[in-house]
Structure 1
């Protein structure tokens, strides 16, 4: 067998082995967080008279050690304010007729279902009334549509950054492309998710601004890394946004349900911050938006700075050849 025959064969085997190695890393990265969902310091409240709330907090701690971070509040009204401000996911309210559960399912339908089950265990033999203070969207009661609809936003934003690096030369043109993408992504995204599918329930302009900022942050950081580092930078951007950022985002659950510190890490990445910010805008009138807004703004600034720091792309290789043709014709 000649060297020419062996080299492509060896390359093919190495390529297959490389892809399988990546597969072996990606499968647990995507599957492990979903397979180990459980409450870990999940913020909840107990509300009511002091003796009753103390007993409730003790029973929660005994039932699931380490699962809940409990805040004690004086009454149901204070608990509802905490729910609307995204300070807690649910409140166990003690009253003369027993326990009632106040929820904010819009923050995470998965958590609301989990806490409904926990409340029934605290009051065996009797139904626990559930008060939906901030309900999930009626067209998406389980939150599956929100999570599934957010993934294409991440993928297309990453693709926009890649295309701007590979197809567009010049800082000004790339910056203009990012601005155009952010505006269009925000407008089209809210038209589809809110207007067509009915998965969002907040102010259209605020939701469009969030989607546009998420698109800008994601596309800018991918484009900036690609412009500065070349193709390895594109790979690093894809790793940051999708391969690591997506499974740790907790868009379909809640950061406190993921193994730690990965739930926290996910909120420092674009997809996790974007999902949290969009929930705040769509269902909570912007409550709890400060941290994810700062994260996305930081990625947007970082990406734009990298684009400005990168060397201008060289002129296409065929331009010198085209320039030589008139000279050759004149010489002939």
Structure 2
């Protein structure tokens, strides 16, 4: 392949990558709609509300009937549902949780207003978002910098650090320092995420290590092609399907579920749980991030074993010495 042919191939490949990025980032945003969205109903007209919700779109909501408004608030605080409609005398009361998803809260508000038949329904934000980020735009943009920084850290470690042991040390250093610094900026200067600084720093550090470690680990095991595989997985699949600006149940199936199995989506869910819900619903995304971190350690551990084999001296061979008669 001469220079011109190589240039044409690279240009065509870059154009294909551009098209894939447009699809990955634009398609989920243009197909936002509730899909089995967990929602609670309570009160004497609960059955009627459920029938109305499921009658319009049977697959839109996963409706759970609870005893009363207190039970509905508890279900929201435990991250079992995104909101609730409580019926009784007069217009229904709508319970939302902006901290769980501003996009879902907005959709539920519209539904509550339609059901009440009034311009303003009775709305209670059980778990509000940060007052400095009422629409959640700042929170939604956190996933991309964390992922991009993790990819960059993994690439730099892969290209500049020749040993797997050094890459492990670098990834751990990046995770600790990156977690502390990113949350320092997020909670002080930007002021968009409430909650425990140390707990959130630990989450951000785990994400940073998982991404950087996976990138450098794959590069260690399969060469520089591993950088591309890891980076494209995190960037083209993980980030647009992370649901950081919406909710997994608003994304096309099965991509909402797939996104939660990758570090960006798990990170967004875990940070929400820690920041707004006192850790409720944190187990699943925490396990996902720990699994990715473990994968990174396994890949880098394989590199450590390879390095040790390369540096071990060859065993000396003893030659027979003739013995004089």
> What's the TM-score, normalizing by structure 2?
0.92
State the number of aligned residues: 308
In structure 2, what is the equivalent of residue 273 of structure 1? Answer: 266
- Give, in angstroms, the shift of residue 314 of structure 1: 11
Q: Which consecutive aligned stretches of 4+ in structure 1 deviate over 3 angstroms post-superposition?
A: none
Query: Pick from 20, 23, 33: which aligns with 1:25?
Result: 20
- Conservation of the 8 A alpha-carbon contact between 1:59 and 1:122: no
Secondary structure in structure 1 of the residue aligned to 2:141: helix
State the distance in 2 between where 1:24 and 1:186 align: 33
Q: Is the 8 A contact 1:45 1:91 kept in 2?
A: yes
Extract unaligned runs of 5+ from structure 2: 311-325
Looking at structure 2, the residues matched to 189 and 154 of structure 1 have their Cα atoms a distance apart, in angstroms, of 12
Separation (CA, whole Å) in 1 of partners of 2:221 and 2:114: 55
Check if 1:110 corresponds to 2:99: no
Q: Mean Cα displacement is larger for which, 136-145 or 14-23? A: 14-23
Following superposition, the deviation at residue 131 of structure 1 comes to 0.2
Q: Distance in 1 between matches of 2:200 and 2:149?
A: 17
Q: Is the 8 A contact 1:273 1:296 kept in 2?
A: yes
Q: Does 1:7 align with 2:5?
A: no
Aligned equivalent of 1:188 = 181
Contact 1:40 1:67 in 2 (8 A): yes
CA distance in 2, matches of 1:149, 1:42: 24
Alignment match, 1:37: 32
CA-to-aligned-CA distance 1:204-247 (integer Å, 9 cap, x gap)? 11111110111111111111111101111111110221121111
* Residue of structure 2 in register with 1:201 after alignment: 194
| Equivalent residue for 2:251, pick from 221, 234, 258 | 258
Aligned equivalent of 1:230, options 223, 228, 234: 223
Residue 299 (structure 2) aligned to one of 276, 281, 306: 306
Change beyond 3 A, Cα 1:270–1:313: farther
Within 1, Cα distance between the matches of 2:226 and 2:308?
A: 14
Are the equivalent residues in 1 in contact too, given 2:206–2:289 (CA < 8 A)?
yes
1:126 Cα offset (Å) = 5.3
Aligned-partner SS, 1:244? helix
Please list the CA deviations of residues 63-95 of structure 1 after superposition, one character each: whole Å capped at 9, or x if unmatched: 333110001000111111111111110000112
CA contact (8 A) 1:169 1:312 kept: no
Partner of 2:320: none
TM (norm. structure 1) is 0.90
Conserved 8 A contact 2:164-2:220: no
* Structure 2 partner of 1:87: 80
Residue aligned with 1:115, SS: helix
Matches of 2:307 and 2:256, distance apart in 1: 38
Distance 1:198 1:313, change over 3 A: farther
Give the secondary-structure state (helix, strand or coil) at the position aligned to 2:33.
Answer: coil
Query: What residue number does 1:149 align with?
Result: 142
Structure 2 counterpart of 1:297, from 290, 297, 300: 290
Q: CA–CA distance in 2 between the matches of 1:218 and 1:146?
A: 19
The Cα shift of 1:199 comes to 0.6
Answer whether contact 1:266 1:272 (CA < 8 A) is retained. yes
Quick check: 1:185–1:212 contact (8 Å CA) kept in 2? yes
Partner of 2:207: 214
Whole-Å separation in 1 of the counterparts to 2:6 and 2:170: 37
2:22 pairs with 1:16: no
